[in-house]
């Protein structure tokens, strides 16, 4: 059935205008000031509302075996949460352990999503070892529609690669035109500092940020930049949290290193004092890199505004407060790392970014949708409002007022890191390829409607 969205104010990175949008056969069929409804079309009145391209979260974990447990969402719960929050495409990190084969792992991750997800999806292929068979498996995964890899400079003994593996991965990526996303923290420094803190009897959640100060992240970025410069590979720094790390990326970019920077909604809105909350509450806010001093928030917002930082993700990694975070009750190094936020990214970015004047509406759309699509070979199928693009649209009500609460969220986790926070504006209608998937905070879509999005490498 066709869908006609009338009188909405369309916002893209470069345009803002009022028009009707006709969606048919999964794509945007026509955009015009006045379109007469075809017979049988559903009509949505979007007067007084914005219409944004469907938002894309470039960094999520749905299926994540990690730190002796599993993250809580599945594609059933995660895709519903994403859609209610205006995110219509997920790019998940496929994270094999060092024991596992890349190709088998890719198939395992794919199986979690196909037939279950209500939103569209793709994967960054995690390269967690590089042995004799890895290159051929990665080539095959690229042939199957993956155009980005993921490497970890952190998590020694789990996902972390050594320098030879890093070098080989980047060389292969350069040859294939694949972009390499990277978690940048010096794993040796983290391990040494963790040992020192524990030996001094410092075991509480607040020690997490003491073990991974900004210099640890900045060193990781500097390290990656050296390897990127020597190989010529295109790189993407995930979850950048602080000024020191951003400085390293900017300096490298200025000398010609190919680097894109992602920050997270958590770093833009939360600071390390949350991880210092008493009675183990701080564990809700343990993630890596850790939450930072508040002063970094202005650096990150300004970085988005000035184009020094290109995307905003969530790194969604939900672990229950009651049953999983306590794995690290007596040892902060065992607290499962992650702050859930998949459902709230867009509402928080709008409320605390656009409404406060830190970024404008065009930047908002760009960093959470269009630029993500461009970077990860999804544009203009995704991230665009133009004829022929997938009809993934967010009709956004700027007059909505509400509060975030665990009681109303769709994410399958027992707390909200933003409990009680005010929201000014939210999606009133969300479509995935022309099918309505969410209305006013409720999921009304179809599980299994989500498709794998094959991508072709472009970073040659």
Q: Is 287 in the site for ligand URP (CB under 6 A)?
A: yes
Residue closer to ligand URP by CB (options 290, 427) is: 290
Site residues for Zn ion, window 315-334 (CB under 5 A)? Answer: 315
Per CB under 5 A, which region of 128-136, 179-187, 355-363, 438-446 contacts Zn ion?
Answer: 179-187
Query: How many C-beta atoms surround the C-beta of residue 17 within 10 A?
Result: 11
Q: Is 122 in the site for ligand URP (CB under 6 A)?
A: no
- Among residues 12, 105, 231, 337, the one that binds ligand URP under rule CB under 6 A: 337
Quote the least distance from Cβ 267 to ligand URP, whole Å. Answer: 11
Per CB under 5 A, which region of 79-87, 162-170, 181-189, 211-219 contacts Zn ion?
Answer: 181-189
Per-residue contact flags (x/-) with ligand URP for residues 229 to 248, judged by CB under 6 A: ----------x---------
Residue closer to Zn ion by CB (options 191, 447) is: 191
Beta bridge partners of 18: 9
Q: Are 54 and 391 in contact (CB under 8 A)?
A: no
Q: DSSP characters for 126-158? A: E-----TTHHHHHHHHHHTT--EEEEESSSTTT
Q: Are 175 and 305 in contact (CB under 8 A)?
A: no
Spatial neighbors of 325 by CB under 8 A, at least 6 apart, are 280, 283, 284, 286, 319, 335, 336
Site residues for ligand URP, window 156-185 (CB under 6 A)? Answer: 183
Q: Which does 185 bind (CB under 5 to 8 A by kind): ligand URP, Zn ion, none?
A: none
Quote the least distance from Cβ 292 to ligand URP, whole Å. Answer: 13
CA-based end-to-end distance of the chain: 40
Quote the least distance from Cβ 258 to Zn ion, whole Å. Answer: 20
- Among residues 87, 137, 288, 296, the one that binds ligand URP under rule CB under 6 A: 288
Residue closer to Zn ion by CB (options 266, 428) is: 266
d(C-alpha 225, C-alpha 207), whole Å = 28
Q: Is 153 in the site for ligand URP (CB under 6 A)?
A: no
Q: Are 91 and 60 in contact (CB under 8 A)?
A: yes
Q: Which residue minimizes CB distance to ligand URP?
A: 337
Site residues for ligand URP, window 311-330 (CB under 6 A)? Answer: 315, 317
Q: Is 183 in the site for Zn ion (CB under 5 A)?
A: yes
Nearest alpha carbon to residue 304 among 258, 356, 264 = 264
d(C-alpha 204, C-alpha 138), whole Å = 40
Q: Which does 287 bind (CB under 5 to 8 A by kind): Zn ion, ligand URP, none?
A: ligand URP
Strands 393-403 and 42-45 turn out to be: unpaired
Residue 397 tokens read as 């009500």
Q: Is the peptide bond before 380 cis (omega within 30 degrees of 0)?
A: yes
Residue closer to Zn ion by CB (options 71, 80) is: 71
Quote the least distance from Cβ 319 to ligand URP, whole Å. Answer: 9
Q: Which does 338 bind (CB under 5 to 8 A by kind): ligand URP, Zn ion, none?
A: ligand URP
Helix 163-176 / helix 134-143 crossing angle, nearest 10 deg: 30
Quote the least distance from Cβ 48 to ligand URP, whole Å. Answer: 38
Q: Which does 3 bind (CB under 5 to 8 A by kind): ligand URP, Zn ion, none?
A: none
Q: Is 208 in the site for Zn ion (CB under 5 A)?
A: no
b/e map of 120-151 (b: 16 or more CB within 10 Å)? bbbbbbbbbbbeeebbebbeebbeeebbbbbb
| Contact set with ligand URP (CB under 6 A) | 61, 183, 239, 287-288, 315, 317, 337-338
| Contact set with Zn ion (CB under 5 A) | 183, 315
């Amino acid at each position: 059935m066709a869908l006609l969205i009338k009188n909405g104010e369309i916002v893209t990175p470069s345009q803002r205008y009022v028009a009707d949008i006709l969606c048919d056969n999964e794509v945007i069929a026509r955009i015009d000031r006045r379109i007469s409804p075809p017979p049988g079309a559903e009509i949505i009145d979007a007067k007084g509302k914005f219409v944004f391209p469907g938002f894309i979260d470039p960094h999520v974990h749905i299926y994540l075996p990690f730190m002796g447990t599993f993250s809580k969402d599945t594609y059933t719960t995660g895709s519903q949460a994403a859609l209610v929050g205006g995110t219509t495409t997920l790019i998940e990190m496929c994270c094999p352990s060092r024991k596992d084969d890349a190709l088998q792992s890719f198939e395992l991750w794919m199986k979690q999503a196909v037939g279950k997800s209500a939103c569209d999806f793709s994967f960054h292929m995690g390269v967690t070892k590089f042995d004799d068979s890895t290159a051929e498996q990665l080539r095959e995964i690229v042939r199957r529609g993956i155009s980005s890899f993921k490497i970890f400079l952190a998590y020694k003994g789990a996902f972390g690669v050594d320098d030879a593996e890093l070098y080989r991965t980047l060389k292969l990526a350069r040859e294939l035109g694949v972009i390499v996303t990277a978690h940048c923290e010096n794993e040796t420094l983290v391990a040494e500092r963790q040992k020192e803190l524990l030996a001094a009897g410092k075991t509480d959640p607040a020690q997490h940020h003491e073990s991974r100060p900004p210099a640890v992240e900045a060193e990781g970025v500097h390290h990656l930049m050296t390897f990127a410069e020597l190989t010529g590979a295109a790189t993407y720094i995930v979850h950048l949290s602080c000024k020191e790390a951003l400085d390293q990326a900017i300096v490298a970019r200025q000398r010609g290193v190919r680097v894109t920077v992602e920050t997270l909604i958590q770093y833009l809105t939360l600071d390390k004092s949350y991880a210092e909350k008493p009675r183990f509450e701080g564990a809700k806010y343990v993630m890596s890199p850790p939450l930072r001093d508040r002063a970094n928030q202005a650096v990150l917002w300004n970085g988005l505004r000035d184009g020094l930082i290109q995307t905003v993700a969530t790194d969604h990694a939900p672990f229950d407060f009651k049953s999983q975070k306590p794995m690290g009750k007596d040892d902060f190094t065992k607290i499962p790392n992650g702050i859930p936020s998949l459902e709230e990214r867009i509402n928080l970015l709008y409320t605390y970014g656009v409404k406060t004047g830190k970024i404008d509406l065009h930047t908002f759309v760009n960093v959470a949708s269009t630029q993500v699509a461009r970077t990860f070979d999804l544009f203009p199928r995704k991230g665009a409002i133009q004829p022929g693009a997938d009809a993934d649209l967010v009709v956004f009500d700027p007059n909505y007022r509400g509060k975030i609460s665990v009681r109303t969220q769709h994410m399958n986790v027992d707390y909200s890191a933003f409990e009680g926070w005010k929201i000014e504006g939210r999606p009133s209608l969300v479509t995935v390829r022309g099918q309505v998937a969410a209305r006013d905070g409720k999921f009304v879509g179809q599980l299994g409607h989500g498709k794998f999005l094959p991508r072709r490498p472009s970073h040659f």
